Structure 1
């Protein structure tokens, strides 16, 4: 809650950057790092050094789970697992877990094959005399994460075995999780299961090391938890009774939003809706387990689409038109009470953007959750617009834009002259250029936390946008390079933070 998280007891500032957007200098690519995504390797540590030198205290990112073909972090195949593509192979070599020649990719740059070779090498290492301590750590990890790891690793092995087919298309005894069939296939696919378990141990080991490094530098990791999970996921397959599904596992209803700022026809996300009455009956155990994993990883957690806990947009499962949906009430108060009872002082931030009603804000305020405000949304001519700085409150998290927005420079480039004059007039007719004008407005806000997308710090235009809601083309692939970082950037940010009393 706002008053319990130490991050909201003082003025702070941070940066929004997904780890995949980091530069990649992994040696396995042999210098061929074009179009390669970031990892939890040395570039992540360099980034922490950069933001530490700039005086920033928060690194916010998107969900870090394994993605599907569209690469959206919001359609993960697991609510618990880490994205294996973020694993640094160099880190594994440096730890002595794998041999250096195991990470050198073949001519096709087959990263999946490299991880399989690393898994074989890792299990050899575990059985060696030098691997005794790591073997103990591995066994502890498997035991502590058993509540999700067993189902996830089997799900991935089956997905590979059935060549990527959705679990609803698997044989009936596996789709319905017949115990004898599950036991049999678990034995048959043990080698593939072991690769997945190795990858998760590697991911979480690297994550723990990176988080420890960040925390020692006074930097807190700010995660993002999507309210919904993907239909073709380990979570839905493993615990189908928690979701609105038919007898074959297909969604009876799916999630989305009605027409809004981002889309005139609404958005059809396709995630299956929860069977909230079943979840409430057992005290929301599914959610408490999910939060347990998130709290291992993050110091602060954003709940994406918070309004769905008050009421959610329910679209018929056989429809692809989001406009055919309807609002359905959810047990938000009972849910949040259970969460805070299990985890007192749970450090949540509510994503309260979009169609927000008085009931949604009442639920958020009942639990004293910080909300989000986005400066790009403020300049519509309405002086009561909550996104305008004079309407901010101390518990708000202030953004120039989010991962769903254009970059601030891209936004500015598309504004008409009248809107530009309105922005300039509001900002005291300052001659500071964009995006720094909006960055300063965010930092000057009374809101205790201000978060700036990395694209804005780098002064990048709309060609560097992370996501365009309602589209499936060219999203989630943006990366920056170190030569885009001006040598004076950290000092420039630090001076602004000092001016607005946001230095740690």
Structure 2
């Protein structure tokens, strides 16, 4: 494992932009990891940024409204993010095979994009099998050992009409070796195809990551603490999760308890890990799985934001039969010993702790003991309390300040929202010393406050850079329709915008000084 220099240091303040890959411009229906991603890196470089924060890169499923936080794999890349233009350059597609469609530049239509790209990937697969040596995919599989179970999982998903794996035939559901060996033979071609998709994704991602490094841009990834129940990870590692051994269904699931925002809490439904269970070597196996997961993600990106970090200190455990999160209980997580062991195995890790929500002193103590920066959300700061921990004057330098996240209102949307009190809006304007602020200028006031804070790193969602409203927000928690679809059209990413942002970034001394070199793996 490489040793990494920290991307957040007291010696060099910096800034960056939050923009999911799927939100990038592209003529193929969804953002991808090809030329338009390189173009965005060029924009970041010109605008004085040093960081690009993204959302999880895993495959998404229509059954989970295409949420990147409910992926069928914690390791695989989303084939919808494969660059079609990159396949043209590789000779795996020709221009005449593309049949460009009239995709919206403002929203992802996942169904149409999937149909279009699946057809093109099938053509690319045929050309690949005709012209590439047999050892190419085998070499890739040796470097990425997780792909064997993932590709088999996807092939079986097709065989069983995309039903959850818990409904598959018993010998397959329970991951029995004889049945799996037979399935691998019967589905060899399908397994090879799904391996090919991952080979393409990771080949293109490595090129993109190298380009980012060349332009001195750090990529900050996103790692959800939990994995989806209907995933290759749970299916292939059932002993690591709290499952019924006969039905393979979860016995307890994840969520968060009732709070001010929800009288019934949030029932996420992810299976919970069997932390501190030494029976049959489960604890060691779980540590090995997490080591592989962290190693994989830290090789993909230069830093990782761990979503729901507080679950490592204590997590909300709900009986699986419950319909709400009310009747859950707090259970101690693996805590400091877990991270001590991971650091022993992997070396220093560039981790940002998502510490939002119900945060106890014990969670803060864990984060501080590890030295990980937490998150501060500016739009949470204006409730009237001078002690509000999100107010810039209450921050410590070892944190990441955001105007908002992918789950929040945009700054303009917050200002216009009838759910936000007039008093909170006035406090925000007063704090920015701009009482005449309005929807056309408020987002820039918030960026000004974030940049001028003592936080070592400031990350601004692209919607706030552009001053867009809530019709452009990425996700609204507790809802299904309309999420994970917003795209940033190319016409908005202009040299004039980059120059404005570069001037502001330089004014607050957040432009690159000595780039924090990160050793290659």
Deviation of residue 122 (structure 1)?
A: 1.2
Q: Who is 2:118 aligned against? A: 112
The one of 50, 59, 63 equivalent to 2:56 is 63
Q: Give aligned pairs, total.
A: 486
Deviations along 1:237-285, whole A, 9 cap, x unmatched?
0010000000211010111112346534321111000011245344711
Distance 1:475 1:225, change over 3 A: same
Structure 1 alignment gaps of length 5 or more: 27-35, 128-134
Q: How far apart in 1 are the matches of 2:386 and 2:88?
A: 57
Q: Who is 2:193 aligned against? A: 195
Q: Who is 1:5 aligned against? A: 6
Q: 1:263·1:470 contact (CA, 8 Å) conserved in 2?
A: no
Q: Who is 1:474 aligned against? A: 482
Q: How far apart in 1 are the matches of 2:217 and 2:84?
A: 25
The one of 307, 311, 327 equivalent to 1:308 is 311
Q: Who is 1:405 aligned against? A: 408
TM-score with structure 1 setting the length: 0.93
Matches within 5 A, 1:389-404: 389-404=392-407
Deviation of residue 138 (structure 1)?
A: 4.2
Deviation of residue 195 (structure 1)?
A: 1.0
Matches within 5 A, 1:33-52: 36-52=29-45
Distance 1:6 1:487, change over 3 A: closer
Is 338-347 or 79-88 further displaced after alignment? 338-347
Other structure's SS at 1:373 match? strand
The one of 377, 381, 396 equivalent to 1:378 is 381
Q: 2:137·2:195 contact (CA, 8 Å) conserved in 1?
A: no
Is 444-453 or 417-426 further displaced after alignment? 417-426
Deviation of residue 487 (structure 1)?
A: 4.2
Is 1:123 the counterpart of 2:133? The answer is no
Q: How far apart in 2 are the matches of 1:106 and 1:450?
A: 38
Deviations along 1:195-247, whole A, 9 cap, x unmatched?
11000000001100001101100101000000000000000000100000002
Q: How far apart in 2 are the matches of 1:436 and 1:430?
A: 13
TM-score with structure 2 setting the length: 0.90
The one of 78, 97, 100 equivalent to 2:73 is 78
Deviation of residue 118 (structure 1)?
A: 1.5
Q: 2:93·2:120 contact (CA, 8 Å) conserved in 1?
A: no
Q: How far apart in 1 are the matches of 2:188 and 2:117?
A: 21
Matches within 5 A, 1:31-430: 36-69=29-62, 70-104=65-99, 110-127=116-133, 138-146=137-145, 148-246=146-244, 247-260=246-259, 262-278=261-277, 279-282=282-285, 284-414=287-417, 415-429=420-434
The one of 462, 465, 470 equivalent to 1:457 is 465
Q: How far apart in 2 are the matches of 1:74 and 1:283?
A: 20
Q: 1:228·1:271 contact (CA, 8 Å) conserved in 2?
A: yes
Other structure's SS at 1:65 match? coil
Deviations along 1:74-123, whole A, 9 cap, x unmatched?
10100000001100122012022445555447998543232122112112
Other structure's SS at 1:284 match? helix
Other structure's SS at 2:486 match? coil
Relative contact order, higher structure (CA 8 A, sep 6+): 2
Is 448-457 or 3-12 further displaced after alignment? 3-12
Other structure's SS at 1:37 match? coil
Other structure's SS at 1:276 match? coil
Deviation of residue 323 (structure 1)?
A: 1.6
